[in-house]
Amino acid sequence: MSYSQKHPNPRVIVVGAGIGGLMMGLLLGKAGITYQIFERSSHVKALGALMSINANILPVFEQLGLLEEVENISLRNRWTSLYNAKLNQIGLVGMDDYKGCTGYDFLVFSRPELYDVLLRQIPKDRISFNKRILTMRKCIDGTRIYCSDNSIYEGDIVVGADGAYSSVRHNMHKMMENDGVPVLKDNKAMPMPYLCMVGTTSPMNPEKYPQLKDPLNHLHHVIGETVFSWTVITIPRNRFCWSVMVQIKNQAEAKEQRFRNSEWGPEANNALIEEVKDFPITFGGTLGDMISATPKERISKVMLEEKLFETWHYNNVVLIGDACHKVQ
């Protein structure tokens, strides 16, 4: 694929087929700009659990004609309940007036379902899988990307939507250094305050869990007495999303976790599951009940680093999402 200046419109390479990469492709397509998305994995991974979106971004979905689809996979949130480790309520964050103030609901849903909504909007031939980016080089007509399968692609603009450990960002920094441009503080390691395990259950019995019958979302967050906190949330079709957060107290431990968990995935979760399975939950029973009702391939563990990168673009390369602002 060669992207040449002979074309009247810029041709865009998007690296990463996550939610940010798909949204970028969708917006480019609506604008009539040619694009191609390159994803390093061999297939779509339906990982992740709870997500929420609100008035900050819902107008974009409305303009794209996708607001109703997003609402169909969501429950509306009106409050968040906070509990201590003994399940005594210690706080309630109300959202009753949110729609009146903003014009939009506060929606919660399972991340894979939002991903599916976006993926359906992208023509299949616009995503290339098994394309791990090794290097990038400036050329006369734009920038070339070199993939691990020895393929080479050239575009006018390269968008890095490839996550916290972005290959595009790494190569952009190399281009800057070669040009004598300082990279400032961006090469320092990202602090990692938390590790998180998440999942989405299969449909559960609403007679056993009557909160599932409520058309509004129930979001219950338990603050533990040690380094753990855990959350269980109702979502459509009689399911729960759940998560466990583990505070990482020193960066030596964080370095070890990075080595053991380089990306989202169901592997190496058993040790943490054993630690948390007996934690009580407000819906009745234990966190282990939620985990047991979750297919193993829907359980994933991820490092929650936080960093705002100072340089988010250089020449015709731009970063979006976790590639430039990894925050929780």
Is there a contact between 304 and 192 (Cβ–Cβ < 8 Å)?
yes
Tens of pLDDT along the chain (328 residues)?
A: 444 445 567 899 999 999 999 999 999 999 999 999 999 998 877 677 889 999 999 999 999 999 999 999 999 999 999 999 999 999 999 888 899 999 999 999 999 999 999 999 999 999 999 999 999 999 888 899 999 999 999 999 999 999 888 999 999 999 999 999 988 777 776 666 788 899 999 999 999 999 999 999 999 999 999 999 999 999 999 999 999 999 887 666 555 655 555 444 455 688 889 999 999 999 999 999 999 999 988 898 887 777 778 889 999 999 999 888 876 5
Taking the CA of residue 321 as centre, how many other CA atoms within 13 Å lie in the half-sphere pointing to its CB? Answer: 20
Structural domains in the chain, CATH included, are: 12-43+129-187+307-326 (3.50.50.60), 47-109+192-304 (3.30.9.30)
Residue whose entry in the numeric block shows the structure tokens 């107008």: 59
CA dist 219 and 321 (Å) reads: 25
Using one digit for the tens of pLDDT, what is the confidence trace for 44-100?
Answer: 776 778 899 999 999 999 999 999 999 999 999 999 999 999 999 999 998 888 999
Q: What pLDDT, on the 0 to 100 scale, is given for residue 311?
A: 87
**pLDDT at residue 261, rounded to an integer:** 53
Instruction: Give strand ranges (E) for the chain.
Output: 12-15, 35-38, 50-53, 75-84, 89-94, 107-110, 127-128, 133-139, 142-147, 152-155, 157-160, 194-200, 216-223, 228-235, 239-247, 300-304, 307-308, 313-314, 317-319, 325-326
pLDDT of residue 140: 83
Contact status, residue 126 vs residue 35, Cβ threshold 8 Å: yes
Share of the chain above pLDDT 70, in %: 89
Predicted local distance difference test score (pLDDT) of residue 84: 97
DSSP 2: -
